[in-house]
Amino acid sequence: MDMKKRVSLELRHRSPTEVQELVLDNCRSGEGKIEGITEEFSNLELLSLINVGLTSVADIPKLDKLKKLELSDNRISGGLELLSERLVNLTHLNLSGNKFKDIGTLEPLKKLPQLKSLDLFNCEVTNLADYRDSIFKLLPQLTYLDGYDIDDCEASDSDGEVVDDEDEEEGDSEDFDEEEEEDEEDVVAAEEVDSDDDSNEDEVRLNELYLIYLTFIRLTVILLQLNRLYFHHIFRIYQRYFNTFI
């Protein structure tokens, strides 16, 4: 399912300003870009775009209230300066499983003063020597990097929103299954709506044809009645005329 359609389904007849959390995981982005999300989502606090094929965040809108952004398992390799310009109150950023290779590509995050938690699991940058020390030095506002603070103390669920790997995998699997079921239900519902629309149109056509048929029958009956009255009148005239000769 493409991202625009997924956004429409997630709205569920709500206006964008009513949405505080928007989860679009595993949908498809056109040309590796963000689609369907605009500045109208002014109250959005959580945006999840996990595994959607992103190569860029260039089209992310200005979302002043956004606090948590999930971008894991994409193909992003840079362009983070846009996040610091448009997501000024961001506190949690997950970039795990992307294409970041060096510390310098993360430097724009210095301009996110509220950023407390950053995840870079499975990015090449994590293989660099003194990776953790370098990141904490580059981003002094950080409290947690990959789920641990500068003293290697694990974040609590409420602080870093980190869970054990097994729980996380199970949770992701369950979430994915639920989302797949929801998508299937939405597709089925859409097909049922289309089917209902077609059925309604057919019913309207049949009703129209039936009314035309009834009108034709009524006109025929009227004509027959008029014709009968006409012949009956002629017969009476001839009868009177004939009686005059008897």
3-state helix, strand, coil split of the chain in percent (to 5) is: 50, 10, 40
Q: Tell me the HSE value of 161 on the side-chain side, using a 13 A CA sphere.
A: 14
Residues 37 and 61: beta-carbon distance below 8 Å: yes
> Residue 169: pLDDT above 50?
no
> Residue 65: pLDDT above 90?
yes
Q: How far apart are CA 26 and CA 82, in angstroms?
A: 23
pTM of structure: 0.65
Task: Give the domains, in start order, of the chain with CATH numbers.
Answer: 3-162 (3.80.10.10)
Q: pLDDT digit string (tens) for 109-151? A: 999 999 999 999 999 999 999 999 999 999 999 999 999 999 9
Q: pLDDT digit string (tens) for 181-240? A: 655 565 555 555 455 555 566 666 677 776 776 776 777 777 776 666 555 655 565 555
Query: What's the pLDDT at 156?
Result: 81
Q: Which single residue is written with the structure tokens 């869970």?
A: 163
Sequence-distant (6+) residues with CB within 8 A of 99 are 75, 76, 77, 123, 124
